Structure 1
Amino acid sequence: MALPGLSQRKPSELTPYERDTNQTATYPQIISWYQQLDQQYDQAKLIEVGKTDIGKPLHLFLMAADKQFAARPDRVTLLINNGIHPGEPEGIDACMMLARDLLKANKLPRNVLLAIVPVYNVGGCLNRGVSRVNQNGPESYGFRGNARNLNLNRDFIKAEAENTRAFQTMYQSLKPQVLIDNHTSDGADYQHVLTYFSTQKDKLHPTLSGYMTQTFQTDLDKLLMATGFPSAPYVNHVGDTPESGLIGYNDSPRYSTGYAALFNCFGFTLETHMWKPYPARVKATYVFNESVMRLCERDAQIILANQQKANTVVRQQTTFPMNYKLDRNQVDTVTFLGYAATYKPSEVSGLKRLYYDRTKPFTKRIPYRNTFVPEMQIDKPRAYVIPQAWAEVINQLKRNSVAVQILPKDTVINVSAYYIADYKSPQRPYEGHYIHTGVNVTTQPQTIQFYKGDYLVWTNQATNRYIVETLEPQGVDSFFAWNFFDSILDQKEYFADYIFEDTAAELVRNDPALRKRLNEKRAADKAFADNADAQLDFIYRQTPYYEKTHNRYPVYRLK
């Protein structure tokens, strides 16, 4: 799997990186390269799959041994995403070479459709500079944020960027079984050129996770070792240094691999080490992508059968685990190639600073915690009912292959309604949102008037995981968490206290039960007892005047 010798290539066959290994291709060079391969080989096709926020198209490069470029149920689709963070450009350069080498040598796997996104974050790729201060080359590169300064690897659920909407449409057309997202790591120093994390195993259907962890990853690590790139889990460590132990990555649905997992696709986020020479990082990326491709070729029938089985089970599944957290009591060990970490005085502050001593490499087993457990279980309803007013939510569902049914006439339906009882929001925005956490709900049976054009979403679909995780408001990456429904949190009608005082007094006089609840709350809460407005509001909420829609979540459950 070594890279082909450059001496065998004509100048026109060399990528910009191969002509100068401290350079990464620019956006025009990337697209021109794939256009050239499209024109040269019948087994290749470059297409535009949608828009990006910068106004340029999102491209997809397809390679098929039989020249048939549509996804099919009899072959694996491997989707490789490059340049989601264009300051991490190894995948861009490696895939340009890999595509050329496979086509020129006629070595495309016959049972794998290879789908490469040449560069996903086009705006970030065009915003070229030197923004990654800790990175060892190339000379210049793109920027992490896209044209709207969004981190696209946090956008896979909320899909605010045009890039993401194009990606989702493309993804649902391909329905891949395996995903690679190419990145560059930062943080601690160690010997490994290559680390990676896979889709969090405990979130996958057991058939998928068992095969991924026990067969695919085991053999992938052997291939990487044989080519001189011993791998380690992505270096997300417990204490100050990796020796303290590594923690698995909790890739919720906002991330590429977490999004893919909702559709029973397992994936890998490759992280080459920022401080290794750029040529070593590009070669490691090339080797990783080719190794994954060859394993897909070898095990195509197993991979297809596993996804089909998982899809069938998800259609019938009644309870869905959500919101995973690390189980710190479950500890494994992994072999890690590190450097001794010590401390020395800082030349800047004079205080103690961390230092990795490259003259003292080590190989040792270190703790690895990679077991996650769900914080809650959700029993799915028979269907969800969504008023047509929430068109953006409906569009999100449709774009992600969720079948929806339109109500043909005005209809009164008995449903279970959630009320948002509590939630927390941060002081500062995250990716343009004040994302809600710690969501608590109460439930009420209600009879609600729905109208012609409102939507039913039945939960007998292979997309059930996406449906439940986005529509249940407690979900860590639900549409509610991402502020799609914040207008329900606003109260629209209020009372004038000087007028309502008389009404409230009459209510308390004539309703002993209400008077008792008011007195009990006064006794239990001094701040409430000292607050006249709070007591009036308490009474107001017991009256028919208080709007039933305040805090009522407008996605209803049909039992």
Structure 2
Amino acid sequence: MKKTLLLFFAFTISLLVHAQQTPFELSGGKQTATYTEVISYFKNIAQKYQEAKFIDYGTTDVGKPLNLIVLSKSKDFDPVSLHNKGKAIVLVNNGIHPGEPEGIDATMMLVRDLLEKKQLPEDVVLCFIPVYNIDGMLNRGPNSRVNQNGPLEYGFRGNYRNLDLNRDCIKTDSRNSLAFQQIFQQWKPEVFVDNHTSNGADYQYVMTYIATQKDKLQPDVSTYMNKKLIPVLLDKMKARKFEMVPYVNVWGATPDKGYDGFDDSPRYTTGYSTLFNTIGFVVETHMWKPFDQRVWATYGFMEELIKQVNTDTKQIVETKRKADESLKTQVSYPLNWKLDTAKAEQFIFKGFEGKYKPSEVSGLERLYYDRTAPYEKTINYRNSFIPTVTVEKPWAYVIPQSWTKIIELLKLNGVQMKPLPKDMTLKGEMYYIDDYKTGNRPYEGHYNHSAVIVRKDTMSVQYYKGDFVVQVDQTVNRYIVETLEPQAIDSYFNWNFFDSILGQKEGFSDYLFEDIASELLKNDKALKEKLDAKRAADPKLAQNAYAQLDFVYKNSPYYEKTHNRYPVMRLLQPIYLGY
């Protein structure tokens, strides 16, 4: 009987120990947790610890809510209250690409350890999205990432609609993105981390990083991130035997020749977070390093980041607050950027020699990295970007209420707007889309526009009761400007939200319009001279009767003035709305 009791207690203790361990640990670092295991794990944590809260947000494309686990030493889980108390918020996102699951498993262990060891930071509240792409995590298997070294099974990159959610932060085609933006705007993090796994070149590092592009971040926030935070993190990670360098951004080349920084536009999570003066990191573990090393590197980075944010909370919070306030009065806004090829910094890169040998598949020369030939070499790293398009903000934008998705997304992202109290004729700047390019193949469900050329025209336009006025005097000005200015790389226009304005609704029958066009040219000398000059400059048009009629039509009173006219007005002067 005594022996039976001893065995029973031993078995019970074993179960308790295993209950605290993750699937990653129980498998000896070979397996990543399933979605069911992750959610059950964090629900149990929230029940066990008063310092933890498990929250559901909205839904995802697969029909399940997006989850958030929040750790607060003070047991305060009200974002407004926490910001008023001067707490810093760190938001960590996992599983945006569920085939890259290191952050999922590292977060499970880190949350447990912080709570069990009573090591929650005093001045930092931690928010973890356990799995962002729930849809893709449920699509589990061993084969979709052929170039990756473990785990045994993992999720899929695309979500239930086959969208890459790390391209969805502006267009917001997925319900996942709607829920993510709700989380981001409710908690307003000072620091954001998105955990990933890289592909591409081979080198000695287990982990690399993408930091918010330094020239795009508000200068004071950028200075703190680049001069203080990043150097500390690099030193700490080196001490942990996980030395880091910037993300190795090479395609069709080897990194020993040097490489360039990553241009994270607002479609990406860190590009999106930049619009709100949030310090952002994408950590990229290397696909071919052992899975357990990749998980522990991710664990280490998050732990060191949390410690440093706790040390610098006051500076981080105050710097972001001032940056947000400065946006209210900032006048000029860069929209698009290009690499400054004249500027480069240098660092010592630890790689493996890239060599070539005959391919056993094609018989042609192929690249391989020789892990028996490591090297250390000083390389150039170009990470300075300069604006290519800059605009001055108007006093306000006026948006017709008919563009409902745009209105909803602006509101979701904290944009304040006022409806017109009555029908009004307003005078301001209107854009005409004079030219643009469109992709030949769909990209994330869209045929994106680019290289947009606009023409301004000051005019009076009829707007109606319920249309919205968005004043550009807000802390979210960058989001407003970079979505509503059609030239911006990730504007609503470039994501096809306004494509219906590009379609001409009325036209002419050439045999009937001939006589009208003839009368127009007889009565309008300037129009005739304009047509003559066009014919002289364009021989093809001179030989095309219909094209000449079309030219006359488009320069006549009969042509619809709303064709190619961007419907959002730029109000340059304040107006009285009657409030």
Give the structure-2-normalised TM-score.
0.95
Partner of 1:351: 364
Q: 1:132-531 alignment to 2 at 5 Å? A: 132-237=145-250, 240-531=253-544
How far does residue 376 in structure 1 lie from its aligned partner after superposition? 1.4
Q: Distance in 2 between matches of 1:307 and 1:22?
A: 40
**Residues 238 and 244, structure 1, Cα contact 8 Å, conserved in 2:** no
Shift of 1:237: 2.4
Q: How many residues align?
A: 553
SS in 2 for 1:392: helix
Q: How far does the alpha carbon of each residue in 1:319-354 deviate from its partner, in whole angstroms, 9 at most, with x for none?
A: 111211101110111221100111111111111100
1:8 is displaced (CA, Å) by 13
Which letter maps to 2:22?
Answer: T
Within the alignment, does 1:539 sit opposite 2:546 as a pair?
no
How far the C-alpha of 1:526 sits from its partner, in A, is: 0.6
Which residue does 1:57 correspond to in 2? 65
Correspondence for 1:83: 95
Q: Distance in 1 between matches of 2:479 and 2:18?
A: 47
The one-letter code of the counterpart of 1:15 is T
Q: Is the 8 A contact 1:79 1:179 kept in 2?
A: yes
Aligned letter for 1:27?
Y
- Residue in structure 2 matched with residue 16 of structure 1 by the alignment: 23
On the 8 A contact 1:238/1:247 being kept in 2, the answer is: no
Structure 1 counterpart of 2:56, from 48, 51, 57 = 48
Is 1:92 matched up with 2:104?
A: yes
Correspondent of 2:136 among 88, 113, 124: 124
- One-letter amino acid of the structure 2 residue matched with residue 458 of structure 1: Q
The secondary structure found in structure 2 opposite 1:224 is: helix
2 CA distance for matches of 1:335 and 1:47? 44
In 2, Cα distance between the equivalents of 1:464 and 1:82?
Answer: 28
1:115 corresponds to which residue? Answer: 127
Q: Given residue 109 of structure 2, which amino acid in structure 1 is its aligned partner?
A: M
1:70 Cα deviation (Å)?
Answer: 2.0
Partner Cα distance (2:63, 2:347) in 1? 45
- Distance (Å, rounded) in 2 between the aligned partners of 1:188 and 1:269: 18
Shift of 1:238: 6.8
Matched residue of 2:560: which SS?
coil
Cα separation, 2, equivalents of 1:193 and 1:243: 17
CA contact (8 A) 1:239 1:245 kept: no
SS at match of 1:28: helix
| Inter-partner Cα distance in structure 2 for 1:414 and 1:546 | 21
Contact 2:114–2:120 (CA under 8 A) maintained in structure 1: yes
Residue 577 of structure 2 is matched in structure 1 by none
* 1:247-275 CA distance string (max 9 Å, x none): 10100000000000000101100000000
Q: Deviations over 1:220-257 (max 9, x none)?
A: 10000011100011010276101011210100000000
Residue 237 of structure 1 contacts residue 244 of structure 1 at CA under 8 Å; is this kept in 2? no
SS at match of 1:493: coil
Query: Which amino acid letter does the alignment assign opposite residue 186 of structure 1?
Result: N
**Identity of paired residues, percent?**
54
Does the alignment pair 1:549 with 2:562?
A: yes
| In 1: Cα distance, 2:391 partner to 2:338 partner | 16
Q: Deviations over 1:450-482 (max 9, x none)?
A: 110000000000000000000000000000000
Query: Is contact 1:238–1:246 with CA below 8 Å preserved after alignment?
Result: no
Given that 1:232 and 1:335 are in contact with CA atoms closer than 8 Å, whether structure 2 keeps it comes out as: no
1:542 deviation in Å?
A: 1.5
Secondary structure of residue in 2 paired with 1:342: strand
Letter in 2 for 1:10: V
**SS of equivalent residue, structure 2 residue 58:** strand
SS at 2:113 equivalent: helix
TM-score, normalised with respect to structure 1: 0.98
Asked whether the equivalents of residues 314 and 461 of structure 1 are also in contact (C-alpha less than 8 Å), the reply is: yes
Letter in 1 for 2:262: Y
Once residues 252 and 155 of structure 2 are traced to their aligned partners in structure 1, the CA distance between those partners, rounded to angstroms, is 31
1:4 matched residue in structure 2: none
Q: 2: CA distance between counterparts of 1:444 and 1:402?
A: 26
State the secondary structure of the residue aligned to 2:390.
strand
CA distance in 2, matches of 1:232, 1:523: 58
Runs of 4+ that moved beyond 4 A? none
Q: Show CA shifts across 1:70-114 (max 9, x none).
A: 222211000000000000000000000000000001100010010
In structure 2, distance between residues paired with 1:219 and 1:335: 18
Are 1:32 and 2:40 matched, yes or no?
Answer: yes
Q: Which residue of 1 aligns with 2:575?
A: none
Partners in 2 of 1:542 and 1:184 — Cα distance?
A: 55
2:429–2:569 contact (8 Å) kept in structure 1? yes
Kept in 1, the 8 Å contact 2:200–2:251? The answer is no
Query: What is the distance in 2 between the residues matched to 1:556 and 1:384?
Result: 5
How far does residue 513 in structure 1 lie from its aligned partner after superposition?
A: 1.1
Letter in 1 for 2:297: A
Q: Give yes or no for contact 2:348–2:377 (8 Å, CA) kept in 1.
A: yes
2: CA distance, partners of 1:239 / 1:300: 42
